[in-house]
Amino acid sequence: MEQKGRKVAVVGMGGAFPTCNSLDDFADKLFGNQSLIRTWDKATAHGKNIRSTVSGYISEAEMHLEPVYSPLAVDYPEVYVDLLNRIPDINLSTADIGSIWAMLGALDAIKMAGWTTEETQSEATGVVVGSGGGGHEIQRNAWHNFFVLGKKTRIAGSHTVDRSMVYRDAANVSCLIKNKGVCESIGSACATGLGNIGYAYRLIKYGLQDRAVAGGVEGTSLETFIGFDAMQILSRGFEPAKSSRPFDKDRNGFVCSFGAGIVCLEEYELAKARGANILAVVDSYFNNSDGDGDMFYPSFAGQKRLWKGLLSGIEKRPDVVKVHGTSTPIGDAIELLSVVDVLGEKDFHISAPKSQFGHMLGAAGAVEFIAAVLMLQKQQVLPCLNSDNLNEELENFQQKEQWEGSKLPLAAYRHLLPQQSFAKEINSITCLNYGFGGTNSAILISKE
């Protein structure tokens, strides 16, 4: 149960962001209304075998990493070299690319938090970091060499397991910072990033930890990309900067992107007592399942119940709603209509960061949480880029007899969806993320 009086503060942030060399660079580009999406050469190299060719991807060189390829297996990055010497070689030996991003993000977040070595390595400090999927490049090599080429298992090297296991991101961060508290990884599809932060919040709120390094990761992977491309749910037919278009009537799928978002959470009074720079306060977290048995279709009722749980016992209402906003035809419409069903049609705005950097899957909720904290800091609302034209007709599901939501078209809510960033007094923000299997997560943060 919650311990009365315990609050949770956000005291540090870091990560890996497409085309950006730092958190400050990321912020400058976001509030400058820039897109971080570009044509991906690894996708175009496969010609018509891949339908979508745009991504918010991150290359090794951009993160100052150099792959060392195995002399025994073709195109297999046996280990990565950190050209800036930020991570010890022993930690690099057990990490895939996403885990390296997680470690780099953790180092930046801890530095911003100002935690001492004693605090970081305490039994009261936990690590909760997850990913939607990963280790694919590692596994691809191992299985191809064994099953297709008939080579011995040792060709895969001795780190296939630790570089591709489900909780590799949390494990690598924990081994790097040497914390003695919790080390866990929560996997909940595209709600993973926010879910890990939410779980870390509960660990602190319930008195099980005093601090936590938390977030989500999705390492650049062509395997991930082609999986979604095969489902025919990726954006196509637009230039890169125009390809992610939440709520626009011409949206035809999401942009598959990659990145990492890591934050440091701390019990509020402890943070305040040591003079920490408190970036935001977490007021509430809630997650649920749709319960309708559908793996993919979004649930209006499930999202309304999510809001009910989030705001239970909370008097404040958000000035900004950071939506999931993937650019999928049904998903965007259901989400917008569920938001206005709960909050009405005024006194708040909607921000869709995926319009600027695409859908980072397991990292999405964490990177977008960081974007929300940046909005609080800068007192600016990030835009819904490319939401040029909203549907002026009712959605098909709105015309069904059992529909219980708004009977107005999406165009009626044009005023809630800014197409450029703008200044506004922001005291609180709600972050929303959903995932396959009907899983939903929501968090409410506010200024200190």
The count of other CB atoms within 10 Å of the CB of residue 334 is 21
State the alpha helices, DSSP H only, in 312-392.
Answer: 329-343, 354-357, 364-378
Distance, in Å, from the CA atom of 186 to the CA atom of 374, rounded to the nearest integer, reads 24
* Segment 386-432, tens digit of pLDDT: 999 999 999 999 999 999 999 999 999 999 999 999 999 999 999 99
239-261 pLDDT, tens digit each: 999 999 999 999 999 999 999 99
| Positions marked active-site | 190, 324, 359
Q: pLDDT per residue over 5-25, tens digit each?
A: 899 999 999 999 999 999 999
The pLDDT of residue 141: 84
What's the chain's average pLDDT? 96
The yes-or-no verdict on residue 351 having pLDDT over 80 is: yes
Q: What pLDDT is attached to residue 427?
A: 98
**Residue boundaries of the structural domains of the chain:** 8-400+411-438
pTM summary value: 0.98
| Beta strands in 104-210, from DSSP E residues, in sequence order | 125-131, 183-184
Single-letter code of the amino acid located at 446: S
Sign, Cα dihedral of 444, 447, 332, 391: positive
SS (H, E, C) 249-296: CCCCCECECCEEEEEEEEEHHHHHHCCCCCCEEEEEEEEEECCCCCCC
Which of 219-223, 266-270, 360-364 is predicted least confidently? Answer: 219-223
Over range 125-150, report the average pLDDT: 90
Helices (H), 298-350: 300-311, 329-343
Contact present, 310 and 39 (Cβ < 8 Å): no
Predicted local confidence at residue 228, as pLDDT: 97
Which tens digit of pLDDT belongs to each residue from 81-107?
999 999 999 999 999 999 999 999 999
CATH class in words for 8-400+411-438? alpha beta
For residue 165, give the 3-state DSSP assignment: coil
State the pLDDT at residue 143: 87
| Dihedral-angle region of residue 138 (phi above 0 means left; psi in -120 to 50 means alpha; beta otherwise) | alpha
Query: Tell me: the pLDDT tens digits for 306-321?
Result: 999 999 999 889 999 9
Does 74 have pLDDT greater than 90?
Answer: no
pLDDT per position as a tens digit, 260-309: 999 999 999 999 999 999 999 999 999 999 999 999 999 999 999 999 99
Can you tell me the mean pLDDT for 176-199?
98
Distance CA 371, CA 247 (A): 19
Q: Is pLDDT at 145 greater than 90 in this prediction? A: no
Determine the angle formed by the axes of helices 300-311 and 329-343, rounding to 10 degrees.
40
